[in-house]
Amino acid sequence: MDPKFCWRTFKKRRMVDVNRDLISELPDALLIQILSLVPTIDAVGTCVLSKRWSSLWQYLPKLDYHYQNGRTSSRLSPQFVHRFLLLNKSLLLESMRLIVESDCEAVDIGIWIGYAVERGLRELELDPNSEDGSIRLPSNIYACKTLEVLKLKSYVRVDVPDSPVCFKSLKILNLHLVYYEDEDSVRRLFSSCPNLEELDVKRYIDNVIKFTIESSSLKRLPIRDRSDGDGQRGYVINAPSLNYLSIKGPKDFEFSLENTPKLVEAKITNISNIKTEKILLPLASSVKRLSLSLSHLETRYAASIIFHQLVYLELGTRETEWWNLLMNLLMNSPQLQVLKLRDGDGNYSEEHEINPPFTKPISVPPCLLSHLQIFEWEGYNGQREEEIQVATYILTNAKHLTKANFSRNYKYFTADEKLEMLQELAREPKASTSCYFFFE
C-alpha cells in the first residue's frame, strides 16, 4: 500500500476525531458520575453546552452547596437549592454538603436536610457558620437508617429527642464546635449509633460538664478541646473496640478511660494540669505506639506504670524535667524499639534554664540493652546541658541501635555550631557498632 495514501488517510481520520465531541458520547451513568465530582453549581451550568447535557444535572445523586454572603453569585442563593431539589430526578440523594451563612434561614436548611433524608441520604456535612445555635437538625434524621457519614460544624444544635433514635448505618461522626442541648443529648446520640467506627470531636466552650462517650463499636477517636476545665469538666470514655485515641489541648480536665482493652495507638499532646496516672495507666496494658506532650507533670506516678506492649514512643521535650518522665518510660517499656524526642521549633529558650540537672537512673533501662533500634531527636538544640546528657546516655547504652538521627531548625544556629554539636556527639563512645549516625 502506498505510504502517502496511508498518511493522508490517517490525517483525515485524525481531523474527524478532533472535531467529534467524544465526551458527549459517553453513557449517561458515566457523565453523571463525572458531574458528581464538581460543585453542584458548576454541574448545573453544563446544561447550556448542548441538548445532550440539558438535563443530566437533574440526575445528580449529591448536592454540594457553598454560599457566602456578599461573595457568591446571586445564582447560588438559597433559591438555587430549592430549585435543585424540586427538579432532581435521581432515585437517591446520597450526599449533601451545606456550607452556608446567615442569609440562609434555619427553617430552609431543616427542610433541605429533611427532604434528603426521605431520599436515602448517606452522607451529610453541615457548616452553617452560625454561633447562635439556631440551626437544628430535622426530627426525621434521628431515625435515618441510611446515613453513614455525619459531619456537623459551627454550633449546629444537637438536641437528641427522648423518642427512639437510631442511626443504624452511621460509621463516621464529626462534631466540630457544635452546641449540645445537654449532657443527656450527648449520651443519647452515641448510644443511638450501634455501628459507629470513627468519632471526631472538636470543642471549645459549651454547656456539657461531663462528656460521656460509650460505644461498643468505636475504633478511632480524636478529641481536640481548647477549653479550661477548671478541675470540674471531664471526659468519660468507654469503648472496648477502640484502637486509636488522640487527645489534644484540654487544660485541667478529668479523664476516665474505663474500658479500652484494644487500644494500640495513643497521642496525648498539649494538655496540662491533668493527673498523669489518669492518662497513662489505662494505656499501659495494650498500647504499642504512644506520643506524649504533657505540662505540669506528676512523674512519680509514671514510675510505677509498666507498658508491656509499647514499641514506639514519642515524647515532647519542652516541659520542665521532661527527662524524668523519659527515664521512667524507658525503664518501664521493656519492648521499646523506636524512641523519638521532639522539641517543636528547636529554638533556644531561657525557660529551659530553670531545669534541674539530669540524673542517670541507677540501672540501665532494659529496652536500651536489648530492643531499642531507632533513636530520633527532632529539634535537637545541643546547647542545653540536659539535652547533651540525655543524648549521650542513650547512645552509650543502646546496644542494638541501628539508626540515630538528630534534626534541628537551622534558622537559630550557624553551620559552625552545627558542626560542633555533631563532633561532640560523635566523640562519645557508642554501645552499638552498627549504628548509622545522622545529623540534619
Question: 124 is written with which cell numbers?
Answer: 451529610
Count of beta carbons in the 10 Å neighbourhood of residue 331: 19
Question: 372 is written with which cell numbers?
Answer: 531499642
- The answer for residues whose C-beta is within 8 angstroms of residue 419's C-beta and 6 or more apart is none
**pLDDT score for 19:** 59
Q: State the residue for C-alpha cell 509498666.
A: 306
Residue 84 · residue 119 · CB < 8 Å: no
Could you give the CA distance from residue 34 to residue 43 in angstroms, rounded to a whole number?
9
Question: 270 is written with which cell numbers?
Answer: 498539649
* Consecutive H or E run containing 5: helix 3-19
Coil vs helix vs strand at 74:
helix
Could you give the CA distance from residue 287 to residue 266 in angstroms, rounded to a whole number?
7
Residue 220: what residue type? R
pTM for this model (two decimals)? 0.84
Could you give the CA distance from residue 256 to residue 172 in angstroms, rounded to a whole number?
23
User: For residue 321, what is the DSSP state?
Assistant: T
Count of beta carbons in the 10 Å neighbourhood of residue 304: 12
**pLDDT score for 232:** 78
> Residue 35: which of 13, 56, 9 has the closest Cα?
56
**pLDDT score for 348:** 47
> Residue 201: which of 226, 171, 176, 238 has the closest Cα?
176
**pLDDT score for 218:** 97
Could you give the CA distance from residue 33 to residue 423 in angstroms, rounded to a whole number?
60
- Mean pLDDT, the chain cut into blocks of 10 residues (440 residues total): 50 55 76 84 79 83 78 61 88 89 75 92 89 78 94 89 88 94 91 96 88 95 85 87 92 83 92 74 92 70 82 89 88 96 61 67 94 92 82 92 81 67 74 82
Could you give the CA distance from residue 268 to residue 237 in angstroms, rounded to a whole number?
14
**pLDDT score for 2:** 52
H and E: helices and strands count for the chain: 12, 20
Report DSSP letters for 345-366, one per residue: T----GGGGGPPPP---SS--H
> Residue 422: which of 402, 439, 410 has the closest Cα?
439
